[in-house]
Amino acid sequence: MASSPCLLPIVLLLFIVSCAGRPFYPLPRKLAGSDKQPLQTSRPYNIAHRGSNGEIPEETAPAYLRAIEEGADFIETDILSSKDGVLICFHDVVLDFTTDIAEHKEFTDRKRTYEVQGVKSTGYFVVDFTLKELKSLRVKQRCPFRDQQYNGKFSIITFEEFISIALNAPRVVGIYPEIKNPVFINERVKWPDGKKFEDKFVETLKKNGYKGTYLSKDWLKKPAFIQSFAPTSLVYASKLTDLPKILLIDDVTVPTQDTNQTYWEITSDHYFDFINKYVVGIGPWKDTVVPVVKNYLQKPTDLVARAHAHNLQVHPYTYRNENSFLHFNFSQDPYAEYHYWLNTIGVDGLFTDFTGSLHNFQKWTSDDNSANKLLHKIAVMVSSYKKI
């Protein structure tokens, strides 16, 4: 008995729904034998900004584990120091915004006022707490419009713990740690033998086997980028390790925290000629690459083209799914934003709060993706049916 043409759309619909119940891409896994699935280097990097922090509170172990599960190439973290000199993963120099410090009455007398990057700030500073004290706190979601169910469940982790998460992943996952606020940390925390924050930072990487120039055999085994907004820290670190480094670039109104240089100075061709001896790329805020007026994108600058001309990669930050962060040009569609930056602007990596979304986009739009080919075949079939 011949099938009725009227049943074709229903069959196709059921097929698509059944596919939607599972991911179109293979989940990260170990390959046969002892070797891990290698880091992909054929497309721009998916950099999990503070982990998958769009879903789970930032810089926590579950946020990083979730990012790895979702397909991150690199997990990114900010490194600060405790009072007793232990390197930890935490973004702010104060604990006020992403921990339950306000509920700990035993620490009421720890509130201080310090100058950070030329601005006086008051709060509970990380550098005034030992690691044991920091571990007694619990982390909470920064953004009130994101999922709050994990508030109070996870603790602050150390740099060593962060590295262990990457090394124990079922595939090769890179790390992307930042030397955070080095001027402030070096002022407030002292280590034996006159060592600096940068020394301890690099020592931790070396201890765990991170070494090698970009794309070298050693680097591919344990990939890492060192990032910082402080040029002098990156130059200093270059004397300690050959790992690739990224110069982060802030808004056009913000000078560098260590050299007091303007945005225009550090993005000039002259400066690129100097800094590319020490770094392999730049990490600019995305709105400095493509200016924004009244939430609409303007004409792109030539920053990416000039950086590429100086053999520098470009890894902009930060990409977020929520409408409040999407410019009107993208019609509330984060995939449209990814398409624009990857295919129109042509960047080499993206810092994102939603690792899974970027991973899905890259897999679904890749030339060798079987799911993409399958959907194309379905579209052709539906198109043919309409002509009957």
Amino acid 367: pLDDT: 73
* Average pLDDT for the chain: 90
**Cβ distance 72 to 173 under 8 Å?**
yes
pLDDT in tens, 152-208: 999 999 999 999 999 999 999 999 999 999 999 999 999 988 999 999 999 999 999
Q: Which residue has the tokens 């990939």?
A: 223
- Residues in Cβ contact with 241 at an 8 Å cutoff, skipping those fewer than 6 apart: 202, 205, 206, 210, 211, 226
Top pLDDT among 144 and 10 is at: 144
pLDDT in tens, 55-105: 999 999 999 999 999 999 999 999 999 999 999 999 999 999 999 999 999
**In a 3-state reduction of DSSP, which class is residue 165?**
helix
Q: Per-residue pLDDT for 137 more than 90?
A: yes
Amino acid 10: pLDDT: 37
Q: Is 145 a member of any domain?
A: yes
Q: Is 387 a member of any domain?
A: no
165/177 Cα distance (integer angstroms): 13
The CATH number assigned to the domain holding 123 equals: 3.20.20.190
Strands (E) in 49-154, as ranges, are 74-81, 87-89, 112-116, 119-123
Mean pLDDT of 211-227: 98
Mean pLDDT of 2-28: 37
262/267 Cα distance (integer angstroms): 9
Amino acid 252: pLDDT: 94
Amino acid 1: pLDDT: 42
Q: Is 36 a member of any domain?
A: yes
**In a 3-state reduction of DSSP, which class is residue 81?**
strand
Q: Is 255 a member of any domain?
A: yes
Considering only 24-38, 236-250, 286-300, which range has the smallest mean pLDDT? 24-38
What residue numbers bound the domain in which 265 lies?
25-368
User: How would you class 65 by CB atoms within 10 Å of its CB: exposed for 0-12, middle for 13-18, buried for 19 or more?
Assistant: middle
Q: Is 98 a member of any domain?
A: yes
Using pLDDT thresholds of 50, 70 and 90, give the confidence band for residue 4.
very low
Q: Is 18 a member of any domain?
A: no
Q: Is 214 a member of any domain?
A: yes
Q: Per-residue pLDDT for 33 more than 50?
A: no
- Calculate what percentage of the chain has a pLDDT beyond 90: 85
Amino acid 78: pLDDT: 98
DSSP 255-295: --TTT---HHHHTSHHHHHHHTTT-SEEEEBHHHHS-EETT
Domains in the chain, number = 1
Q: Is 304 a member of any domain?
A: yes
Give the total residue count for the chain. Answer: 388
